[in-house]
Structure 1
Amino acid sequence: MNLGSHLAQRLLHLPPPSTRDLTVEHDLRVPMRDGAVLLADRWTPRSGPAGLPTALIRIPYGRTGMIAAQLARPLAERGFQVLIQSIRGTFGSGGDFDPLRREREDGLDTVRWLVEQPWCGEAVVLYGGSYLGFAQWSMAGQLPPQVKALIPSVSESAFTLEFLRKESFSLEATFGWGLQVAGQERRGAMLRQALRLRKERRAWYTLPLNEADTAAVGRRSDYFQNTLDHDADSAFWSVLDHSSRVADLTVPVSTVGGWYDIFLPGQLRDFQALQSAGREARLTVGPWAHISMGVGVTATSEALDFGLAHARGEKPFDRAPVRLFVMGVDTWRDFPSWPPPGYAPQRLHLHPAGALAADPPDESAPDSYRYDPADPTPAVGGVRMPVGVRSGRVDNTDLEARPDVLTYTTPALDKDVEVVGEVSAEIWFRSSLPYADVFVRLCDVDEKGRSTNVSDGLISLTDADETTCATVRLWPTAYRFKHGHRIRAQISSGAFPRYNRNLGSGEPRATATTLRAADQQVLHTPAHPSAVILPIGAPN
């Protein structure tokens, strides 16, 4: 019995395969334009028709073990042959590993080589999530006609740039991933990674921050150092931004995301670009974080429906372009577009005494709290990536009990309120220091008073000692607040280590060492109407 095959079938909720008898041709040599040679493995059924559609997977994490079992095997058992390739500088492939920066050229060279192989067949489908999805987006605009579909999940065309914005640097994702890829080919890498988690979490507090990688693993991570030295708008990262090419992608696309995925905003932007250009595209967003099993289950299903149908020149199963999991009622709903029609922005204003209401506020004194970077407001659930860290919806009771967190809550709802689309906040804010962060979180409070997070976001200010309107972009969502529940807005000045803590000194991110506590104020007056802005529609 092939235990790996049966395990993948169970984990991915798949029907029985047409065959479990596969053959793997290892270390195929794929030449690149600069002379480097990348290695790939070809998975095929041992018997059956020749010229099956080829699913191409380009990956930096290796080609064996669980990666092969969950990516290549399920597809090769159910109608595809699979070519899984190690990207440049990883796991035997030639050249130097320079994360994300050579995927367009190397990907296009690989596809050109692939379609010339006598075994390739007449159809190619690009497949994979996260970095593997970026490897697909990066080729937009120059794909040969043999490529029939793309299925990128939890990914986007400007990969990691969301993390590097000046106003909200994502420490946890850049630091953790940088350390992971820097040591992934060392002997015992998986065990080392598990053992270093506690040390890595202590290293988050290292100052200056450009010594944190050495503190965690004894050596520097080039990727992490580059994220410290170059913000998202630096020319250094321009080679990673393929968002301008997305509308040129005429190949059908099915993209899978999660409401608590780190790449969701960019993924939705890419889908909107495809829809605006009139391309064939569909979007599925579930209640998942980046490494949730539900992403793999849904992406595999899309490969075997949407991808295989297009590869065979058939029509995939008919469904609406947008399928969203509406949290709160935990049901799937279909829509024609993102954002869906019928949801209009409505303001819920902050009021004194922790109230939240549609009416504008009257004159009132500001609310205050003290933020101390030596004891930063922690990240609790939400948009998280690391293994072993709880993500998604969690109990916020302990977080909201902290003195550096303010909450504003509506009365119990007299009817269901459904929020689907882009969420934002306008918070009138003043600090005792010029440098401060504003973190806003939308929560659902049930009949028992338990508060769980729905959506959140952060912005860094550089003129916070003056009264400033902080415009915060929260993560998009689809959520129904039930009758009898209450809607809550949380305000604080951090979510560490998801976002780097604001030290209050204004020193450069990489070399800052001075910690300054700040006294923060949130205003709610007719002239300073702080509010969260929710896209609200009538529940079905």
Structure 2
Amino acid sequence: MQMLHNQMIPMRDGIHLATDIYLPQGLEGPFPVVIERTPYDKSKPSRSEKQLDGQHISREQMAARFTAQGFAAIFQDCRGRYSSEGVFIKYTAEGEDGFDTLAWIVKQPWCNGKVGSMGLSYAAHTQLAMACLSPPGLCSMVLDSGGFANAYQCGIRQGGAFELKQATWAWRQAKESPAALADPQIREALEQEDIHHWFSRMPWQPGQSPLRHVPEYETYVLDQWAQGTFGSYWKKPGIYAEGHYERLPDIPVLFMSSWYDAYVSSTLANYAAFHNSSTRPQHLIMGPWLHGDRNISHSGDVEFGPNATFDGQVAKDWLSCRLDWFERSLKPASKILPASVSVFLMGGGSGAMDENGRLQHGGRWLHSSQWPLPGSQSQSLYLNVQRQLHPTSPTEADAHLDYYADPAEPVPTIGGALTSGAPVFVGGAFDQRERPDFFGTRGDNSPLAERSDVLSFQTEPLSEDLIVAGAVQIELWIDSDAPDTDFTAKLVDVYPPSADYPEGFAMNITDGIRRCRYRDSWEQPALMTPGERVKVLIEPFATCNLFKQGHRVRLDIASSNFPHFDVNPNSGEAEGQALRPQTAHNRVHLSRDFASRLILSVLPASAVPDC
């Protein structure tokens, strides 16, 4: 193959982006093109390319496979990253830069006018951003664990709260900024920052953060933090595909994510948008993994079994899958496969501890032509004053449970559907205990459910298996003595005590949050009147889990999940400010007229073979 290294492609504002181009040799062109745009250095192997044996495939090895099959392969550094010119402002330039890049590509003599795009995480965000502008030549995409449907609701903020993975990501990536690479003193200053200490000093302010050494990184993070209201800031193509779906090209797309990924809701929303409007087949794959870890069969302290990996189960391997996808979607002699959905149903395992100390939760792949899966039904479980989840609505005229939410002592994050939190926090499935290796815990291994600022509600031991597959919602009637506060909800699969787990195992399945000032409107926040009874809706990510017979379904209600989300000071101050933090006295109503409930998408066992 022929390599054209660091070709500088011009953008509309005069900035040039460094691009490596690999062309087939010995084959007659012009060729279809496959491109990946990345902020993580086009010359290094992507973490997306980790094989089942743990080895990474280099960019050159990938290009060799693509060019051997008659594709031109292109890898590009995003604006302001590595060899590209310009200033990096996270997400917002990717639409126009992607458009301009494709406009340049289709004019080259070696391109036949057909372009496919691929990439994980940020490299998925770059794809959907440019797709919203209908760039010339775009004929196919592979969106892997990313692509913002609405970053205000998934990826940057969620339920009104700020996702603090943006802070840890910025601190790590600032070390690879042009300023840090050019000046060893800046990089060393960033390395010397104690990020754990800074997480104890939140919220950050201009010049008072570990990002102050690279001001453009500090600026964009603090802007994201402060922009609490859903306004024009959040409606740009790079982070708000929902507002631009009508402009999307009618093309086949392969969507992939996983139940413990940070982009579950974005992936499912984007899949639904393409599925409902496109004439071309759409494919969806949802595994049980952490972000992009498709060939690792465990998540946190939970093992899903050898059939949980992508390679050898869903397809031969991920690279071969994409080659086949682009062969079918970019070459006229091939035909795209019909629409398909492959989702991993977690659960059904022995519950024993394996040789690596992980809970054997198990699971298997389900295959369909659509999502939500056919046959799914809505089922409500009501919260009652006995701390039960019960299928019947409460009958008490006045019933409630109270707790105090102190922003100085937030409920700690123990795993979940998140990414990029290292070295402060991690995602995945864990027994919900205050282990000393999790940031912000009391370190005594006590159950989170025993905290005085957590309300736990659970079913009786299940008399039969329960399959939850799809959306999860929690409707709470609440009041507070604070002008603003948060309510969080966590769905938990509770294993009964066993020889390996004498106290059982409380496995987190999915969780969500709602900032009360946005209870009625994302565009027009309204503070609460102390004591006023209001309804809040919490929408955790969808999931797909089998709660086995003998297990319990549990719902934990609290007012913080830190450091996954920023802590609400309960004072009603502007987002990103906490000059007057106060403890909130929060109440959840559980009465006949103000019934709080958990709403699950349940799949009858008859709809799933061998269940």
TM-score, normalised by the number of residues in structure 1? 0.88
1:481 to 547, 556, 572: 547
1:334 counterpart = 2:367: yes
1:266 counterpart = 2:300: no
Contact kept, 8 Å, 2:168 with 2:422, in 1: the verdict is no
2:290 partner letter: A
Tell me the residue number matched to 1:511: 577
Structure 2 CA distance for partners of 1:316 and 1:423, relative to 1, 3 Å: farther
1:285 counterpart = 2:286: yes
1:307 to 307, 326, 341: 326
Please, which moves more after superposition, 501-510 or 88-97? 88-97
Contact kept, 8 Å, 1:209 with 1:509, in 2: the verdict is no
Tell me the residue number matched to 1:347: 380
Tell me the residue number matched to 2:44: 65
Contact kept, 8 Å, 1:368 with 1:522, in 2: the verdict is yes
Tell me the residue number matched to 1:7: none
Instruction: Provide the aligned length of Structure 1 versus Structure 2.
Output: 518
1:177 to 145, 169, 173: 169
Contact kept, 8 Å, 1:417 with 1:536, in 2: the verdict is yes
Structure 2 CA distance for partners of 1:94 and 1:130, relative to 1, 3 Å: same
Distance in 2 (CA, whole Å) between partners of 1:181 and 1:257 is: 23
Structure 2 CA distance for partners of 1:144 and 1:516, relative to 1, 3 Å: closer
Question: C-alpha displacement at 1:165, in angstroms?
Answer: 4.7
Q: Secondary structure at the match of 1:66?
A: coil
Contact kept, 8 Å, 2:151 with 2:234, in 1: the verdict is no
2:243 partner letter: S
2:406 to 372, 395, 413: 372
Tell me the residue number matched to 2:197: 202
2:174 partner letter: A
Provide Cα deviations, 1:100-121, integer angstroms capped at 9, x if missing partner.
2222222111112112222334
Tell me the residue number matched to 1:417: 466
2:431 partner letter: D
Please, which moves more after superposition, 366-375 or 219-228? 219-228
Provide Cα deviations, 1:406-433, integer angstroms capped at 9, x if missing partner.
1111111111111111110011222232
1:237 counterpart = 2:237: no
1:383 partner letter: A
Provide Cα deviations, 1:280-336, integer angstroms capped at 9, x if missing partner.
211111112324244996754541221232222355674652211111141111122
Q: Secondary structure at the match of 2:111?
A: coil
Contact kept, 8 Å, 2:150 with 2:242, in 1: the verdict is no
Structure 2 CA distance for partners of 1:528 and 1:301, relative to 1, 3 Å: farther
1:131 counterpart = 2:112: no
Provide Cα deviations, 1:237-264, integer angstroms capped at 9, x if missing partner.
3223232333432121111111122222
1:384 to 400, 408, 418: 418
Q: Secondary structure at the match of 1:313?
A: coil
Tell me the residue number matched to 1:538: 604
Distance in 2 (CA, whole Å) between partners of 1:260 and 1:197 is: 31
1:120 counterpart = 2:155: no
1:375 partner letter: E
Please, which moves more after superposition, 460-469 or 129-138? 460-469
Distance in 2 (CA, whole Å) between partners of 1:201 and 1:316 is: 52
Contact kept, 8 Å, 1:289 with 1:391, in 2: the verdict is yes
Question: C-alpha displacement at 1:171, in angstroms?
Answer: 3.5
1:76 counterpart = 2:63: yes
Provide structure 2 residue ranges, at least 5 long, that are not aligned to the other structure: 50-55, 297-309, 312-316, 349-362, 434-446, 498-503, 518-527
Q: Which of the pair is proportionally richer in helix?
A: 1
Identity of aligned residues (%): 27
Tell me the residue number matched to 2:512: 457
Tell me the residue number matched to 1:93: 84
Question: C-alpha displacement at 1:217, in angstroms?
Answer: 5.9
RMSD over aligned Cα atoms: 2.9
Tell me the residue number matched to 1:110: 101
Contact kept, 8 Å, 2:34 with 2:74, in 1: the verdict is yes
Provide structure 1 residue ranges, at least 5 long, that are not aligned to the other structure: 1-21
Please, which moves more after superposition, 458-467 or 279-288? 458-467
Question: C-alpha displacement at 1:395, in angstroms?
Answer: 0.5
Structure 2 CA distance for partners of 1:428 and 1:338, relative to 1, 3 Å: same
Distance in 2 (CA, whole Å) between partners of 1:254 and 1:316 is: 15
Structure 2 CA distance for partners of 1:194 and 1:412, relative to 1, 3 Å: farther
1:105 partner letter: E
Distance in 2 (CA, whole Å) between partners of 1:197 and 1:151 is: 38
2:104 partner letter: W
Tell me the residue number matched to 2:500: none
Tell me the residue number matched to 2:151: 160
Contact kept, 8 Å, 1:209 with 1:512, in 2: the verdict is no
Tell me the residue number matched to 2:140: 149
Contact kept, 8 Å, 1:444 with 1:481, in 2: the verdict is yes
Question: C-alpha displacement at 1:73, in angstroms?
Answer: 3.6
1:35 to 14, 18, 22: 14
Contact kept, 8 Å, 2:407 with 2:583, in 1: the verdict is yes
Q: Secondary structure at the match of 1:373?
A: coil
Distance in 2 (CA, whole Å) between partners of 1:114 and 1:136 is: 15
